[in-house]
Structure 1
Amino acid sequence: MPLRALPDPEKAKPCVLVIDDDEAVAWAIASRLGRDFRVVGLTEPQQAVARACEENPGVILCDIHMPGMQGDEVAFALSQEPRTARIPLVYLTALVAPDEVPDLEGVFGEYPTVSKMASPEDLREIVTMILGIAPDAAN
């Protein structure tokens, strides 16, 4: 009788899909979120809906300004697909420093915004809050 494959521990971690035309941003976010999250980077915003359906992320972090497809267009495309419409989306921006993000409240509709330069603590805080995870449970 063949052995059953063990579940992949990486797949058990909450998934964060990062959509940014700069691959280094996904790597930076992955390093800031630590080992408790499975961060998937996507540099082609046109593939956002298909990749979100495939990965089933708990939250999507999406750049605002990208060539070819802007963040609001990605958000709209995700909202039109029943399988991705309910996935929380947070805009990423390099336009402001982390302490200026509160000034953006409401600027991009209902979507919260986080600075690409956010500290590991601030980034983990927003992701765990959106995922509904107790802050100390993701450490």
Structure 2
Amino acid sequence: MTPMLRDLPDPERAKPCVLVIDDDEAVAWAIAGRLGRDFRVVGVSDPSQAVTLARELRPGVILCDISMPRMTGDEVAFALSQDIATAQIPFVYLTALVSPEEGMELDAVFGDHPAVSKSATTEELREVIAWALGIDDD
């Protein structure tokens, strides 16, 4: 019996999921546009929804803005770390506070989480995500 089209796997679901948490939804759209070929990017502009969405999506990595109203990136990281379902998801700070060159200097400044500049090149974003996912990005 030939499988029906609706029974075939969704190629978008096969891509590693990247959850982007940023109060500016344009940031998630920009990242999705730059990385959408290789990753399934889902954005949320309300950081208080991060834990719930992370539990539902089971993303491979979370990129989170540091400076947001209502809930900072540190508060999001702490909330995720307190939930057994989300505590092991790799977490990377996403910031406009530094240039791409300074991004690597932020590693471990905010806990054990690396940081990447919002103005990083597509290749730099890919490298950080691949590193967080534990995959070789050649």
TM-score bracket, normalised by the shorter chain, equals: over 0.9
2:117 corresponds to which letter in structure 1? S
Q: Report the TM-score, using the length of structure 1 for normalisation.
A: 0.92
- Between the aligned partners of 2:76 and 2:106, the Cα distance in structure 1 is 19
**Aligned with 1:35: secondary structure?**
coil
- Between the aligned partners of 1:134 and 1:118, the Cα distance in structure 2 is 19
1:11 corresponds to which letter in structure 2? R
Match of 1:71 among 52, 58, 73: 73
Identity %: 69
- Between the aligned partners of 2:78 and 2:40, the Cα distance in structure 1 is 24
Within a 5 Å distance, the mapping from 1:87-102 to structure 2 comes to 87-102=89-104
Q: Deviations over 1:92-124 (max 9, x none)?
A: 100111011133232201000000000001000
Q: Report the TM-score, using the length of structure 2 for normalisation.
A: 0.93
In structure 1, the partner of 2:9 is 7
- Between the aligned partners of 1:37 and 1:105, the Cα distance in structure 2 is 23
Match of 1:36 among 38, 56, 70: 38
1:104 corresponds to which letter in structure 2? L
Q: Which moved further from structure 2: 39-48 or 24-33?
A: 24-33
Aligned residues: 136
Q: Quote the RMSD (CA, aligned, Å).
A: 1.5
* Conserved? CA contact 1:32–1:119, under 8 Å: no
* Conserved? CA contact 1:91–1:111, under 8 Å: yes
**Aligned with 2:77: secondary structure?**
helix
Runs of 4 or more consecutive aligned structure 1 residues displaced over 4 Å after TM superposition: none
Q: Deviations over 1:22-45 (max 9, x none)?
A: 011001111222411000000010
5+ long unaligned stretches in structure 2: none
In structure 1, the partner of 2:134 is 132
Q: Which moved further from structure 2: 7-16 or 25-34?
A: 25-34
5+ long unaligned stretches in structure 1: none
- Between the aligned partners of 1:106 and 1:133, the Cα distance in structure 2 is 21
In structure 1, the partner of 2:48 is 46
CA drift of 1:130 comes to 1.2
